[in-house]
């Protein structure tokens, strides 16, 4: 599912399928989402806090930076 204002890289779906094929025991995958400008992360996967609310993992981290 993509928002109507989403811009994707040309090979995004092929890369997502490759990741799914490489890990058949994983049932949910999410692409990395970048903030406007494409240099910082909006999310590299959603997380669940101990208190039960969700948040964006990696928010604001530089693209390509180690976790």
Euclidean distance between the first and final Cα of the chain, in Å? 25
H-run or E-run covering 56: strand 54-56
Length of the chain, in residues = 67
* pLDDT attached to residue 25: 96
On the question of pLDDT at 6 being above 70, the answer is yes
Q: How many domains does the chain have?
A: 1
- Contacts with 53 (C-beta within 8 Å, 6 or more apart), sequence order: none
pLDDT per residue over 17-63, tens digit each? Answer: 999 999 999 998 888 889 988 889 998 888 888 999 998 889 999 98
Query: What mean pLDDT is predicted for residues 5-11?
Result: 89
- Domain residues for 60? 1-67
Contact 45, 23 (CB under 8 A): no
Q: Higher model confidence: residue 52 or residue 2?
A: 52
């Amino acid at each position: 599912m993509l928002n109507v204002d989403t811009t994707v890289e040309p090979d995004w779906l092929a890369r997502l399928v490759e990741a799914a094929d490489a890990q058949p025991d994983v049932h949910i995958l999410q692409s990395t989402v970048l903030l406007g400008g494409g240099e910082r992360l909006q999310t590299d996967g959603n997380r669940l806090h101990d208190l039960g609310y969700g948040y964006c993992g990696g928010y604001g981290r530089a693209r390509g930076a180690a976790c």
